[in-house]
Amino acid sequence: MAKIIPFKAVRPTRDKVSLVASRSYQTYTQAEREARLDYNPFSFLHIVNPGYKYDREISGIERYKLVKNRYLEFKEDNIFVQDQTNCFYVYKIVNREGQVFNGIVAAASAEDYENNVIRKHEDTIVHREHVFKDYLKTVGFNAEPVLLTYPDNSTIQNLISNIQQQRAEFEFTTTYRDTHYLWMIDNQDTINIIQEEFKNMPTVYIADGHHRSASSYLLYKDLKENSTNHNGSETYNYFMSYLIPESELQIHEFNRVVKDLNGLTKEEFLIQLDAIYRIENRGIMPYKPSKKHHFSMYLDGEFYSLYLRKSLYDFKTSLDALDTQILYKTILQPILGIDDLRNDSRITYINGKKDIVNLKSCIDNGEFAVGFGMIPVDIEDMKQIADDGLKMPPKSTFIEPKIRSGVTIYEF
């Protein structure tokens, strides 16, 4: 039984939402951030980067307190206004490629996270979990929802379609050329129907936002343990989520590039690969794999196809069958000497939305020695790994949609 509840979102006013909404802070280059901070006084980046006002870097608890101050200033200036009633929010994104995402912004249950009703497929870094938990505890709000996915449901889909016949509360297009729409659901009967449909779902899955959900869970535990009047209805029992049907989730691969061949010559490297892969030289024309357990490789100006010799590889678990795990276990770790996929500076990840030529350029300019391409992870494989309680290697999936920060805000 998945539990979601409506909440009173803090939102930008209709006339300023396009100016407030921002991508995640880390996705901007320094030049992009500075341009927005210099010329857009309403950007949400002013809240999450409060040190810009004082022309210096600020970190830790001092930064968290200033983030809260900037946020309160946005509320005092009526840039942000809180809804008077609890609502679900239908959120639609049409991206620059014409892909459409329709979902519901709601508060998901921290207890569901604890009880594995909300399932995970990625490992998290404990330090990052606690840092963001402390951040949330200080600032008192969350402005970027966790992306959850659920099995397609005709009742929910019909409700969303009907609501979208009305005028949207928000409609704005970003400089990234994505168009965003938001509708409010404040009708209690409709809210009840949506909640009942989710109660009939035994599980939902985290698609993107594992650290945010883990940190929200830690905050829930912290505040619950230190409350003398805990009753389960407090806002900290939930965290903001964007729930979309599985059929609309877009999963892209992350390709890998490695800086050197771990002391091997090109010929020695190819010979070691031959022990577990059938190798074909594809020449200078870009090559991408089309099947599971097949990889493309770019090395010394040429593309290769790598076909796993399955008789020599042991498929014991759902994780063993995952291409990113196969690449790690057969090449990256034993041949190239990369044990720590998260922290080894010799490996870099390129999201699969970028053309394979981007991978080629990284090798040709001499920054990296070899690159590997693969196909995206299948949604069923992702779910099976989560169901089995296993965790994918880092950067196994690049998932869309990417919702903007500051459009709906959840206060604790």
Residue 103 one-letter amino acid: G
Pair of tokens at residue 61: 């608890």
- Whether residue 261 has pLDDT greater than 90: yes
What is the DSSP pairing of strand 302-308 with strand 277-283?
antiparallel
CA dist 136 → 47, 206, 328 (Å)? 13, 19, 35
CATH of domain 254-396: 3.30.1760
- Whether residue 26 has pLDDT greater than 90: no
Mean pLDDT of 61-89: 97
Nearby residues of 336 by Cβ (< 8 Å), 6 or more positions away: 258, 261, 262, 346, 370
pLDDT (tens digit per residue) in 175-189: 889 999 999 999 999
pLDDT (tens digit per residue) in 217-228: 999 999 999 999
Helix (H, G, I), strand (E, B) or coil at 345: coil
> What DSSP element (H or E) covers 94?
strand 88-94
pLDDT score at 197: 98
Closest-CA residue to 141 (of 172, 107, 97): 107
Structure confidence at residue 54 as a pLDDT band (50, 70, 90): confident
Q: For tokens 């870099």, what's the residue?
A: 348
Task: Round to whole Å and give the CA distance between 93 and 129.
Answer: 28
pLDDT (tens digit per residue) in 231-253: 999 999 999 999 999 999 999 99
Structure confidence at residue 24 as a pLDDT band (50, 70, 90): confident
Nearby residues of 383 by Cβ (< 8 Å), 6 or more positions away: 119, 121, 205
pLDDT (tens digit per residue) in 209-218: 999 999 999 9
Domain boundaries of the chain, sorted by first residue: 4-250+400-411, 254-396
